[in-house]
Structure formats: C-alpha cells, structure tokens
Amino acid sequence: MFRVYLDHMATTPLDREVLAAMLPFLENSFGNPSRMYDLGAEAKEAIERARESVARLINASPNEIIFTSSGAEANNLAIRGLAKANQNKGMHVITSEIEHHSTLNAFRSLQKEGYVVTFLPVNSYGEVSVEKLESAITDRTTLVSVMLANYEVGTLQAVKEIAEIAHEKGALVHTDAVAAAGNIPVDVKELGVDALSISAHTMYGPKGVGALYLREGLRIVPLIYSGIQEEGRRGGTENVAGIVGFGKAAELALRHLDKVEKVRWLRDKLIEGVLEVEKVELTGHPEKRLPNHASFIVESVDGEALMMALSFEGIYMGNGTACISQVLRASPILLAMGYPSQRAQCSAIFTLGRETTKRDIEYVLSKFPGVVAKLRKISPLWDG
C-alpha cells in the first residue's frame, strides 16, 4: 500500500545522516562526558560540537544552549526557572490560551504556588492579542511566554512585537519554537527573546532530546539538581547519542531551509484540493502560518474517526496536539478561537515534510473526498 506521512508536527522520521552520526555513541564511544580520560573527553567534545550546531540554527552563542530531554522540559525550565529566579521583582506572569500543554501546565503549577497568571485570548485566526498584552502587563510582570507558531493551526505569532512590549516593562520573554524551528528561519536576536525552546524530534532528529536557549547573563532556577552538567543548569548524565543526533539534525535543518517554498507550494495544492470538498473550512491564519501546515474543520466528521479512516488508506495525519489527542475530543485551541465544541471535534491537520512529493499530495486528494463522504453517511450530525 502506498503510504503518505503528513503528521510532521507530531514527529518526524529520523534522518539517515542523523542515525549515522549517533551510532558511534551508541556503540564504541560510550564514555561519560564528565570523565577526564579519552572516552569521556570524546563524548564531551561531541556534545560541544552539537551545541555549536544547535546554536547556529537559531543564531545563538553555544554557551546559551542548555540541552534537555524534550521541548516540554525546555518549556518548563524556562517558565518555572525564570519565574522563580525573578520572583522578588514580582509574581505576575503572562501566557496565551493556545499554548502547548507543557507551557499551560507549567503556568498552572505556578498559579497553585501563588503566582498571578494572565491567559491572553486569541482571535478567530489564533493570533494572540497584542493590545490585550499591553493592557495586562505591569511593572510587576516578570515573564511573558507566547509560542512562535501554533502546532494545531499553524498560525505565526508576533513574537518580536510581544518582546518589545514586554521589555519596555522589564519583563522577560520566552517562546516555544518547537513547531517553528526547522520549518522557518528562527533567529533569537531578530525575535529579541530571552529564552526559546526547541526539540530534535520535530526536525528529523531523535526523540528524547530538546534544548533551551537562555540569553547570556540570565539566571535560572534548575528543575533538576545534580552536578556540573550544563553549567549546573540541568543536572543528570547527558544523553550523548541523542545530543549528537540533535546537532546533526540542526545542521541539516539549516541546510534544508531553502526547500521552504517547495513545501509551501505543495501545502497550497493540498489546501486548494481539500477545500473543494463540501463544508470544509481552513483553520488558522490563511497567510501568516507555517509553510508546511494545513488544518481544517471537516463538518460533521469526528477528527479521530477521520484520522483512523485515512490511516487505512496509508495516509497519516493528525487531529490535535499529539500530547493530548487521546485525552480530549474537542481541541482546546479551536475552543479558544471561538469554535463551538461540536465543531472543535472535527479537526483535521496535515503537516508536510521535506520528503513530501507532488505524488503524495495527489494521492491524498484522490482518497480524502471518498473517506469524508463515507464518514458523513454514518454521522448523525450530517444533513447533506
């Protein structure tokens, strides 16, 4: 059966060059990087080379990169670590209603500890209201966290403008760039952020490794206490093979950024074809969105049922953030954007990769209308 993978927001396949870079550190070069002898020094040097590659991807300095176990840990380290380090200034923090759950739950944990948390609303495109930010921020605000690109609807946020507003009030700014890095150019200096989270597995690297950019000179309270690893900012023996893979994935992501327009063209063909089906609506901003992202409401069709039905045709797509899709039927993102609960259950998300071809898109468009029609025939909500 022909297979088409269009769920790159959930994860990406491991690039063969990444695997080749990792293998020596899973076999013979197995030393602990904290040891001074040659096996340890070899592992330590490999980590530092990877740190340089990850830093280069986002235009940071290597000493500003902290390796973590995931993008979720990077989000938690940034939010809790910066809030705790600056609580003497104030205990007011700001985020948006449509963040990844690792961000939202980190803020909710602060809320339980006495912090005042403002959750900014979004418009029908999923854009954070900059005006609401200006109204909410005070001299006691210590941290603002707004994602660079939304996982579910692909909308890009005005992070640079958000950072300028926050800095005027003396607040620090964090952005979750896991969905963006590798898909669009990401430059921490251009964005003006103080902290930024990324993950390897969304850019053809291994699962189980992420990174936090932390602007030089900032203090952070660790989540994990141990020894001297990551300059004391994140304890625990390093995942050497994973970090090496992350470094190679970052190097390849930078090299492949010139393929963005090809992916965007294929994405637009997919959107054009899907919207020919009756009562299908594009979600997210029509222009200010990730170039590989296409998300829809398919009227009267349960998103999970559509995802499974398409998988039987060899087509793999998503119906929400992978971290919560098995728990919540209605997308919290779509609910925050103003969609009623019934329609928010009808989400379909296609995210392309650099290996996606025109043939893949043609195959999807040949199967999608028929699968939707079959599901609507058995849907009690369909009156077509």
Active site residues: 323
**Burial label, 168 (beta-carbon count in 10 A; 0-12, 13-18, 19+):** exposed
DSSP 165-214: HHHHTT-EEEEE-TTTBTTB---HHHHT-SEEEEESTTTTS-SS-EEEEE
Report d(CA 51, CA 31) in Å as an integer.
18
Indicate the SS3 state at residue 149. strand
What are the residues whose beta carbons fall under 8 Å from the beta carbon of 264, sequence distance 6 or more? 291, 292
Q: Tell me if residue 40 falls in helix, strand or coil.
A: helix
Q: Which amino acid is at 31?
A: G
Structure tokens at 98: 């449509």
Nearest of 254, 261, 144 to residue 203 by alpha carbon: 254
Please provide the DSSP assignment of 204-242 as one string: TS-SS-EEEEE-TT-----SS--SSGGGGTS-S---HHH
SS3 280: strand
Place of tokens 């979750």: 176
Residue at token pair 């992978």? 322
Q: What does each C-alpha distance from 12 to 7, 30, 265, 309 come to in angstroms?
A: 8, 26, 20, 21
